[in-house]
Amino acid sequence: MSQILSPDDITRKYGKMFCRGVYTLVDEENGKAMIIEECSAKGPVEWDAANRRRAGGAITGVRVEGTTLIMDAIIGEREVRFGPASKDVGGQGLKALKVEGDRVRTTWVGLAGASVGIGACMPQGPGTIEAVYPDDAKVGGAHRIEVSVVTPKMVRVIYAVDDTDTKEKGASWVLMLKMANSAPLGHYLEHKIVQLNPDVPEKTTNCVAVGVSFAVEPKDLDALTDYVINFVRENTFSENTTIAMYQGLSIPEEARAYGLRAKKEIMKVEDAMKVAEASGIRLIEVTGKRGTIGAVAGIGCFDMGLAAAALPGDLDP
């Protein structure tokens, strides 16, 4: 037998914990998912990351950014392996991730003290719809628990823009940051400034593209996109502004290669349009086409970390 509890039920049962949000993003075409768990402190995030990496299961990668835990996963099920350390230090891991219509069900296993994170903390966080427990569920101590956390199905969408300013006024990174912070739909994830070739003759000052990503429920995607387009149109100072839009958890290799080229070569609009078509990137001409060059590069470089902001050679030892 099992019991279904709401986040409020879980809070009353275990007391107020520390999760500030749970978001489950899926890329069904590629069988991939990303779970983002936001916490109020870095210590629990690092400890959970170490435990979940050790356990393996459906998780394929774990990283920590501040007080946020980001987990890459498969859509499916794999055995969780806690190993010999579990009897002494406990453990926690993701057993399965399944898409059920407009919801995602993640099934977690926890041992001993590590069971508190997946049994009491995460399930009461904002973003959780409900959690399913066995009737005899106990967390902490020497107990083992298996709990399923149900969240809305979300997708990742990236909007990248270039050529919104002039030499006299405007800054693309400011425009996109204001847009992201004011968006009425979706959950704002990341803002990236992508340095491109500073020798481009048409540049304003720094020659950068800017991208912003959101987690959004599919039913809200069109409305969010309309908001982004209208915001950029109303706030751009340039007659050459283009938005590039990409949905998915993996940037296509052709787009990544183009982004790296745009850091050291002078590209053409035609180059960018070919890459966009091959990579599933939607182009939205706001006031003109020239921004297509940087907007597509903004998508291509979005997941490169610090390298996105750097020029070739900047990060060499």
Say whether pLDDT at 53 is over 60.
yes
253-261 vs 269-279: helix crossing angle, rounded to 10: 160
Which amino acid, one-letter code, is at 8? Answer: D
Say whether pLDDT at 310 is over 80.
yes
pLDDT at residue 308, as a whole number = 97
Cα Rg of the chain, angstroms: 22
The model's pTM? 0.93
> DSSP characters for 289-317?
STTHHHHHHHHHTTTSTHHHHSPTTTT--
Q: What burial letters (b/e) apply to 179-194, b meaning 16+ CB within 10 Å?
A: bbeebebbbbbeebbb
Domain boundaries, the chain: 2-154, 163-309
pLDDT at residue 314, as a whole number = 86
Structure tokens at 314: 């900047």
Q: Report the run of H or E that residue 13 belongs to, with start and end.
A: helix 7-14
CATH code assigned to 163-309:
3.30.70.2200
Strands 208-216 and 282-285: unpaired
Mean predicted confidence (pLDDT) in 48-54: 91
Predicted confidence (pLDDT) per residue in 236-268, tens digit: 999 999 999 999 999 999 999 999 999 999 999
Which amino acid, one-letter code, is at 166? Answer: T
What residue ranges in the chain does DSSP mark as E strands? 2-5, 19-27, 32-39, 59-65, 68-74, 76-77, 91-100, 103-111, 130-134, 144-162, 187-195, 208-216, 242-247, 282-285
Predicted confidence (pLDDT) per residue in 284-305, tens digit: 999 999 999 999 999 999 999 9
> Which range has the worst mean pLDDT, 18-32, 144-158, 203-217?
203-217
Number of CB atoms found within 10 A of residue 136's CB: 9
**Residues 84 and 43: beta-carbon distance below 8 Å:** no
> Which range has the worst mean pLDDT, 65-79, 116-130, 191-205?
191-205
Predicted confidence (pLDDT) per residue in 65-94, tens digit: 999 999 999 999 999 987 655 555 567 899
**Residues 177 and 158: beta-carbon distance below 8 Å:** no
* Cα distance between residue 44 and residue 93, in whole Å: 14
